[in-house]
Amino acid sequence: MYPRIELTPVVKILLLINVGFYLLAAAGIKLDGMMMYYFESPQFKPYQIITYMFAHSGTAHVFSNMFSLFMFGPMLERLWGSQRFLFFYLFCGVGAGLLYMGINWYEVSQIKAAASAYLQDPNPTSFVGFIHKIFGQFPFDLQEFTQSFQKNPTDAGMIAETSSFVKKMVLDSMNGGMLGASGAVFGLLMAFGLLFPNTELFLFLIPFPIKAKYFVTLYGFYELYAGIHRTPGDNVAHFAHIGGMLFAYILIRYWSTKKDRFY
């Protein structure tokens, strides 16, 4: 028999809050204001650095995060106490949001630079370069139009159309939002791997037990790879996951230097 997992106070409250907001969204109540938007977006509000981690995009999203909170949270809360556990959870969530925002700033800056280059000298080559900045690889549905533009580089209508498209893409890059508890949960995962490194985990799709330290390491490398080599259509905030793990590592290492106050 497996040991029974007993919910601790803060974990229970976090589960109720997250599931509660999910049910409100499922009932049709708009929670877009809870998402964290890019800081230059007109929809950005400072409180979103906290609220974003309590809203989710769907059933699979909220289930995976809450299942991880349920699995790893109680042991850490019993180890640290409720107050320190809650601080750790929020610290990792905020850290994840900050790293994501920093990466987003870099990406938006690159897109703005490519857009500026095109608008100053609208030509097919600059347009292709801009498209690669946005999508990584050239979308099939733009190939025919781009080929036509290359044959007619001075066509005023095409220049106006591409200029409008470029401006819209810049605005879209700034108005995307992020939501979910993944950053905070990945912080818990890192903490578990650091504090209970030799605990064997039985995971879906892996037919053998794997020690926590190896699982965390492999998962971290995967998130880094997926964040750098992001495929088109991948809406997962991989760098937020890395941010949660990074801030968890920093905080635990800091706490470990305060031997008289660690627990």
Please report, for the chain, the start and end positions of each structural domain, with discontinuous segments joined by +: 105-174
pLDDT band at 32 (very low <50, low <70, confident <90, very high): confident
Taking 60 as the threshold, does the pLDDT of residue 234 lie above it?
A: no
| Spatial separation of the C-alpha atoms in residues 239 and 262, rounded to whole Å | 28
Max mean pLDDT among 87-101, 206-220, 234-248 falls in 87-101
Task: State the pairing for strand pair 200-201/210-211.
Answer: antiparallel
Q: What's the average model confidence in pLDDT over 18-29?
A: 93
What is the percent of the chain where pLDDT is above 70?
Answer: 87
- pLDDT at position 2 is 46
- The alpha carbon dihedral of 95, 61, 225, 39 has a sign of negative
Q: What's the average model confidence in pLDDT over 195-215?
A: 74
Q: Which two tokens stand for residue 209?
A: 């037990």
pLDDT single digits (tens) 98-154 = 999 998 898 899 889 889 988 999 998 888 888 887 776 777 778 888 888 888 989
Q: What's the average model confidence in pLDDT over 161-181?
A: 90
Q: Helices 59-80 and 9-26, interaxial angle, to 10°? A: 170
- pLDDT at position 173 is 86
- pLDDT at position 261 is 54
